[in-house]
Structure 1
Amino acid sequence: MGNDGGSIPKRSELVKEAAKALTTAQIKEAQTEHQEYAWSTDPLTRKPLARPVVSDAAGVLYNKDSIIEFLLKDDEDAEKAEMKKVGGVKDSELGTFGDRVKGLKDVVEVKFEIEEKDGGEVQKTLGEKWKCPITGERLGPGSKAVYVVPCGHAFAGSVVKEVAERACLACNEPYAENDIIPILPTAATDIARLNLRMKTLKEKSLTHALKKAPGSKKKRKHGDASAAENGTAKPTLSDEDKKAKKEAAAKSTTTANDGIKNSATASLTRKVLEEQEERNKKRKMAQNDNVNSLFNKKEHKASAGNSADYMTRGFSIGKK
């Protein structure tokens, strides 16, 4: 308050100044804090990362049991909706967590090599550390680490760049250059490359793990129209061609079954056999006693006594 004899407010207390832009040091400090959190904590459950660890198409790390728990929840569950909001990177180019992860095929298990512990108290409190199996460099905040799809082995980024042959150094499984996924990327070029990879895989009906996406068979049926436009679709037969094809198939089956090569003779023979079989059925029905017992061959005549009316009943007219 002011002008009440108690205190006089200053200009700094009455006028709000515009927020100052963050300095380079402050931006780096914020990125370091975010990297330390992302390398040690699962963004879905806020629990420490523990093997098995998986990653989505954006390079974000999760606990595998957290992903399974998320997928098992109902879509109407409030906790699942909250997980979608806080799940990892929210970059507009890479989409939200709910868009990236819709099943276990959308994540890849990252296989880290564990750094050996000395058994000291400090090592126990910090938990397990990961390192590159080739250089021995620690993989964590501040390091440019990558993993390879589909095997999931993690290395230092410099090691993969220096290797000319595109084969995993741990399991010798081949991979494409586009399948090198940076872990928790911060550079704009890495984010743009991951975004382009996600769009390419979606067009090919593939998931992040390079497996068939659910519902890809249905899309193929709808894709026949586009295939026809490109000239790759199979030519369709007309009604006359289909009819001729059926007649040829019938002729071939008749020849195979009856051993008759002439189609006219074969069709006539087939008709005769059908008529003969029909006559045999009728003859058997006529000879069957059980069927004959259902029908009474005697003529039924109504008795005169029952049919007489009340005037003539019990009275007989004499003859002249």
Structure 2
Amino acid sequence: MGCDGGTIPRRDELVRVKQKPEQKDKDAEREFRWRHCTLTQQSLQEPIAMCGMGRLYSKQSVIERLLEKEPMPETAAHVKSMKDIRQLNPTPNPAFTEEDKTEGLLDTRHAPYICKLIGLEMSGKFRFVALWSCGCVMSERALKQIKGSVASTCPLCQAPYSVEDVVVLNGNEEDMELMRVKMEMRAAKRKSSKKDKKGAKKVEVKAEPAEPQEPVASTSKSAVVEKPTTSTKIKAVAQVKRLGAVNAMQDPELKRLKSDFSVAKDPKASDVYKSLFTSHKTEKDQERAHWVTYNPFYN
């Protein structure tokens, strides 16, 4: 079978084949995700923030959207307050210039940020992670190498972190499921810490000392005996000394030193002992002088 001129048609000219859909440029898509805000689709502006799912945002755009109370897109529906985002501290790339923003091929353009530990560019070709506890950004390869020697400590700022604080930036579908689980873990941990703080405050309020009151003497056996302090011990010793002095003044032997004391009225003294003094009844009406010159009978 031929046509005019003796040409033979090919199969693709006779059979209509279903056209394949246009494939996305993976490199362009990757670069767009790492250089543009997920919320506004514009270039990232510092300060840069991330959500719990690892997507990148311009912090200013998130604040404006929350203040205007506009509905979030489906990709950022979980961002409901500033607690749901974390500001990042990426390391600038010294090789990045203004020409890299507009000119040059994707393979030759430099990324604006790098890993401070091993120097990999944060362009999407290598997996990067960020710590929710401190906001430091580094490559996943560097974190795995350092984690064996320094566990649960940020290699850049030395801040402690836990497993749920490691967020993969712009991860795949499997990473998104893992980031959702970690986000729920952080939310539960935050709620438990709030409950612990409230309980600690209540305990502090109950433990506050009351105003000092004067001690009241109690004869009940169920009264609680407090441990004496240094000041109370000194007061007790002084009180014992005062009581001892009072008891000493009441001693019967010291009563004899008083002016109103009389031997004749002393019930403990014998009659012979009493006869030695002029107060005795036998010495009252005598005419001779006393043997002691205490009561002479001369004019």
TM-score bracket, shorter-length normalisation: 0.5 to 0.7
The 8 Å contact of residues 92 and 114 in structure 2, kept in 1 or not, is answered as yes
Mapping 1:150-161, distance limit 5 Å: 150-161=133-144
Q: Which residue of 1 aligns with 2:73?
A: 85
Q: Which residue of 1 aligns with 2:178?
A: 193
Q: Which residue of 1 aligns with 2:129?
A: 146
The 8 Å contact of residues 111 and 122 in structure 2, kept in 1 or not, is answered as no
Larger Rg: 2
The 8 Å contact of residues 56 and 101 in structure 1, kept in 2 or not, is answered as yes
Structure 1 residue 47, shift from structure 2 partner: 2.1
Code of the residue aligned with 2:91 in structure 1: it is E
The 8 Å contact of residues 90 and 136 in structure 2, kept in 1 or not, is answered as yes
Distance 2:193 2:112 in 1: 30
Q: Which has the higher helix share?
A: 1
2:179 equivalent to 1:179? no
Q: Which residue of 2 aligns with 1:56?
A: 51
Code of the residue aligned with 2:156 in structure 1: it is A
Structure 1 residue 44, shift from structure 2 partner: 1.8
Distance 2:47 2:86 in 1: 10
Mapping 1:1-320, distance limit 5 Å: 26=23, 29-74=24-69, 80-81=70-71, 84-85=72-73, 89=75, 97-98=76-77, 100-117=78-95, 121-122=99-100, 129-163=112-146, 164=148, 165-188=151-174, 190-206=175-191, 259=216, 261=218
Code of the residue aligned with 2:179 in structure 1: it is L
TM-aligned CA distance change 1:145 to 1:199, over 3 Å: same
TM-aligned CA distance change 1:67 to 1:141, over 3 Å: same
Aligned length: 186
The 8 Å contact of residues 129 and 167 in structure 2, kept in 1 or not, is answered as yes
Structure 1 residue 105, shift from structure 2 partner: 1.4
Code of the residue aligned with 1:36 in structure 2: it is E
The 8 Å contact of residues 115 and 131 in structure 1, kept in 2 or not, is answered as yes
CA RMSD of aligned residues (A): 3.7
Alpha-carbon displacement from aligned partner over 1:258-314 (angstroms, at most 9, x marks no partner): 835369xxxxxxxxxxxxxxxxxxxxxxxxxxxxxxxxxxxxxxxxxxxxxxxxxxx
The 3-state SS of whatever aligns with 1:42 is coil
Distance 2:100 2:131 in 1: 31
Distance 1:133 1:151 in 2: 15
Identity %: 21
Distance 1:57 1:146 in 2: 12
TM-aligned CA distance change 1:145 to 1:42, over 3 Å: same
The 8 Å contact of residues 111 and 121 in structure 2, kept in 1 or not, is answered as no
Please, which runs of 5 or more residues in structure 2 have no aligned partner? 1-14, 104-108, 200-210, 221-299
TM-aligned CA distance change 1:129 to 1:65, over 3 Å: same
Distance 2:53 2:153 in 1: 22
Distance 1:105 1:121 in 2: 36
